[in-house]
Amino acid sequence: MNKKHTDVVSRAAPAEPAPAPRRRPFGLYAILVLMSVQALLGVTLFGLLGVGFAVAAADFWRALSPDLWSLVEPLIVMLAVAVVVVGLWRYRPWAWYGMMLLLAYWLASDLIAYFQDAASFVSMLLNVLMVFYLNQREVRDLFEAPAASEINA
């Protein structure tokens, strides 16, 4: 009886192989690198501003007082970029939407600059290319959350 029982147990179906890890396309790597560099530049700017504040606090505030928002806004955007880059790296669906919102913000800023005769055509082109790339089916599929039926299967 014990021998039969062990034969049945040993003939059990092998465990299913783990699903193959998703491969990041080259374009996604390029976007991640560009956004990471941008976030690092934002952190560097913040560090330099901190040094400037530490060296001459009174002069620092006097120089910034009329246009403080022009300093705070890029720092907020760079923080958002850093969070979105981490989310994109980890295939989080919210990160794809966050990247789309950042690109919409940058495209709107580029359009405003264009109508103020301060156009940055390189920035416009890169932002439009990123929007088109991130909206391709195979890229969007990387960020879709698995359905509940797939999780329970």
Tokens standing for residue 116: 């103020």
Cα distances (Å, whole numbers) of residue 147 to 150, 151, 152: 5, 7, 9
Residue 14 pLDDT > 60 = no
What 3-state DSSP class applies to 68?
A: coil
Residue count (the chain)? 153
Average pLDDT over residues 114-143: 90
- pLDDT for 60: 65
Of residues 101, 91, 110, the one with CA closest to residue 131:
101
Whole-structure pTM value: 0.68
